[in-house]
Chains A and B, each alone.
Chain A
Amino acid sequence: MEVSSEPQNLNPTIYERSEERIVQESDYDNDVRDEIDRREIFDLIRSINDPEHPLTLEELHVVDLDGITIDNQANTVQVQFRPTIPHCSMATLIGLSIRAKLLYTLPTRYKVGVNIYEGAHIQESQINKQLNDKERVTAALENKHLCAVVNRCITTSES
Chain B
Amino acid sequence: MPELSRRRALSAAAVVATAAGTWSASTPATAAGHHDSRGTFDEVYKGRRIQGRPAAGAGHHHHGAGYAVFVDGVELHVMRNADGTWISVVSHYDPVPTPRAAARAAVDELQGAPLLPFPANRPLA
Chain B binds chain A = no
Query: Which residues of chain B have a CB within 8 Å of any CB of chain A?
Result: none
Query: Which residues of chain A have a CB within 8 Å of any CB of chain B?
Result: none
